[in-house]
Amino acid sequence: MANKRAASKESGLSDEALRHLVEGKSGVKAAKVISPADVETAEWVRLKCQFGCDGYGQCLVCPPFSPTPDQMCKVLDAYRRAILIHFDRDADTKATVAELEREIFLRGAWKAFGLGAGPCYFCETCALEEGRCRHAERARPAMEACGIDVYTTVRKAGFRLEVVRDRKQCPHYYGLILID
């Protein structure tokens, strides 16, 4: 409990204020403050990107350019709390995560860093050859691109998430912002 109190003093954002800020955004269904220790990472997750997504190697925020699961574990260890965000189906997940990350940063949580869902769409063609993202202020890797097991993490937080079995089924999108 001491860590949570210290975290909110550093950033000036209590868990309740953080949830209120996030849940007030358009497209957000729900949000939960969680411990980064509850974020599950696994090596197999990036294999799903490599052998299941046509974006693999095509974007600077996707594998093999995104943090590895081992690197992500070290990043997670540097934080005391995070907020897991459940988005509406039609929400602009990546843009909202980047916007919230900025708002949280401006409220004193200087370590705030957001992770979205799915491939990046800010450019028609990524600036891979240049090696520098044209939209670094908004582009963030997806949780799965960093080896985060989204299903296990989301379920640990008490959200319901099932495999989408066909195109008629409504998918669920989640984002994560590491706070302090």
Give the pLDDT confidence score for residue 170 in this predicted structure.
Answer: 64
Average pLDDT over residues 166-174: 75
Average pLDDT over residues 19-34: 97
Mean of pLDDT over the chain: 90
Query: Which tens digit of pLDDT belongs to each residue from 29-45?
Result: 999 999 999 999 999 99
Give the pLDDT confidence score for residue 11 in this predicted structure.
Answer: 64
pTM here is 0.91
Average pLDDT over residues 65-82: 97
- What is the sign, positive or negative, of the torsion defined by CA atoms of 39, 176, 44, 129? negative
Output the DSSP codes for 71-91. HHHHHHHT-S-EEEEEEPTTS
If you count them, how many residues does the chain have? 180
Residue 52 has pLDDT above 90, yes or no: no
Q: What share of the chain has pLDDT > 70, as a percent?
A: 92
Give the pLDDT confidence score for residue 1 in this predicted structure.
Answer: 45
Confidence of residue 2 (pLDDT cuts 50, 70, 90): very low
Cα–Cα dist 58/123, whole Å: 11
Give the pLDDT confidence score for residue 161 in this predicted structure.
Answer: 85
Q: Decide: residue 176, CB within 10 A, 0-12 exposed, 13-18 middle, 19+ buried.
A: buried
Name the DSSP letter for residue 55: T
